[in-house]
Chain A
Amino acid sequence: MISINDLSFAYDDGRMAIEHVSLDFKPGEKAALVGPNGAGKTTLLLHLNGILRGQGSVVVGEQAVDDRTIKAIRARVGLVFQSPDDQLFSSSVFDDVAYGLVYQGEEKIVIREKVAQALEVVGMPDSQARSPYHLSLGEKKRVALATVLCMQPEVLALDEPTAGLDPRGRRGILNLLADLDQTLIVATHDLEMVREIFPRVIIMDAGRVVYDGETQAALADRALLEAHGLIG
């Protein structure tokens, strides 16, 4: 589904944020991306639909990410940012969820339908007229997910979807993720969630992939987890 080949990227200040990353994801696969703060998880996710373009290649399906394919790829890979305050920039929940659909050139009736459907899925069916500002963090995160789900992407890339949530909010998101059948690539610090939902885990540290394999084996390896700051 997605294949990343020898990808490296440096921000303006010249330091490498990710270095020589190569990964493959099969359709329907659920993979977690873990690692300490600053490991490069967010940077990597931003490459999946061409927000950032580093050296090396990213191929989605059979399309390489470049100027010509970018529109199609953004429709195929849905990206949810860590802070819903960055993801939700419109003045009503409806406008925010509809945003991507408007850019896809959908008909008005279709937009209404898809927005309602996506909000239903995330359990926020009655929130269309509300302002995203007035939602709780848990609700914001659900709506942020809906803004991408409504576009029916094949791949979902989520950045720390459970960070900052209370136990009930976290459980809600967990149940939601478990029910999705898209390809899931999720950056997180929540090892409990990884254990529960993701059969595959990728550990990053200082911009490099240091482990890529079965979750069970990784979580059983205390030395590995400690070496990369995943347990205290």
Chain B
Amino acid sequence: MPVDIEQRASYEYGDSLLHLCDARIKITLLMVYLITTALLPVGAWAVYLLMGGVLLIVAVLSEIPASLLLKRALLLEVPILLVLIPQIFLKTGNFIEINPWSGFAFSLSLTRLERVASLLVRSWLSLQFAVIIMSATRFEDVLAGLRACGLPRMLTAIFGLMWRYLYVLLDEMHNLTQARRARSSTLQGSFKQAGGSVWWRAQVTGGMAGMLMLRSLDRSQRIYQAMQARGYDGEIRSEAAAIPLTKAQYFSIAAFILAGLLMVLLANGMAA
């Protein structure tokens, strides 16, 4: 898995305006921001800057330390970016020939370069916005918000269970890998793995995965028994009921959507 859980471990405690805001509002705000960003045309740099401004305002509202946000800001999906890069060397659109020394030349497509750069900026904005919103919203509230927005009961329950057991199993995982490391002498910082062929290493790793799966199957059976013991009868019940949105909240949702539309129109107007 590409992410470092500890590094991105989401929620940051706080009581800022953004933290206190209703999860449903935050989810709509996030969706509007993401859709708007995705709809912006290539090369609308001024509007990207505006969107960056919105990002900055929300970041300030969240009162999350800048250092922390900056640390998370460097997280980009690196490998998938690499799929993007080669296209700037295509002889497409507006391109220039670069001839650094005789006998070797390559072309650089300015059109593609602008396109790739635009994409990176928009992708970064989206990621950062999601990071900030999720840093200021507890997972339980995200779930309750999604439930209120129509997420089926069963999925809500499954996500909740998964969230709860994620950390329990990550701990077990950690213990397993530590036990493995304690028994194998890997040269640190090098790729030369001591101890066996690829085949053997795969077997060991697979065995650990299998062990993890077996344990979780057993555990899920015991959890089910514990649920039954307290009266679970196959129906999912919960005592959380959604409070209806106020007029002001509806109004702010409408305002977000309008602002998003404006941004898209503005960007397209400027491009034309």
A–B direct contact (CB < 8 Å): yes
B168 touches A85 (CB 8 A): yes
**CB nearest to A147 among chain B residues:** B230
B229 touches A103 (CB 8 A): no
A102 touches B223 (CB 8 A): no
B239 touches A89 (CB 8 A): no
B239 touches A46 (CB 8 A): no
Chain A residues in 8 Å Cβ range of B222: 81, 83, 86
**CB nearest to A50 among chain B residues:** B228
Chain A interface, number of residues (Cβ within 8 angstroms)? 31
Cβ distance B243 to chain A, nearest Cβ, rounded Å: 13
Alpha-carbon distance between A111 and B239 when the two chains are bound, in angstroms: 9
B227 touches A89 (CB 8 A): yes
B237 touches A89 (CB 8 A): no
Alpha-carbon distance between A128 and B141 when the two chains are bound, in angstroms: 16
Chain B residues in 8 Å Cβ range of A81: 222, 225-226, 229
Chain B residues in 8 Å Cβ range of A104: 231
A98 touches B233 (CB 8 A): no
Chain B residues in 8 Å Cβ range of A147: 230
Chain A residues in 8 Å Cβ range of B165: 89
Alpha-carbon distance between A86 and B233 when the two chains are bound, in angstroms: 18
Chain A residues in 8 Å Cβ range of B163: 91
Cβ distance A87 to chain B, nearest Cβ, rounded Å: 5
Partner of A86, one of B139, B161, B226, B239: B226
A89 touches B230 (CB 8 A): no
Counting CB contacts under 8 A, is A108 at the interface? Answer: yes
Chief secondary structure at chain B's binding surface: helix
Alpha-carbon distance between A102 and B231 when the two chains are bound, in angstroms: 9
Partner of B229, one of A49, A91, A102: A49
Chain B residues in 8 Å Cβ range of A108: 239
**CB nearest to A108 among chain B residues:** B239
Counting CB contacts under 8 A, is A71 at the interface? Answer: yes
Chain B residues in 8 Å Cβ range of A151: 230
A90 touches B164 (CB 8 A): yes
Partner of B161, one of A49, A87, A89: A89
Counting CB contacts under 8 A, is B232 at the interface? Answer: yes
Counting CB contacts under 8 A, is A182 at the interface? Answer: no
Counting CB contacts under 8 A, is B219 at the interface? Answer: yes
Binding site for B on A (CB under 8 A): 46, 49, 51, 71, 74-75, 78-79, 81, 83, 85-87, 89-92, 98-100, 102-104, 108, 111, 131-133, 147-148, 151
Further contacts, 13 of them, CB under 8 A, given A51-B228, A74-B230:
A79-B226, A81-B226, A86-B219, A86-B226, A89-B165, A91-B139, A91-B140, A91-B160, A91-B163, A102-B237, A103-B237, A108-B239, A147-B230
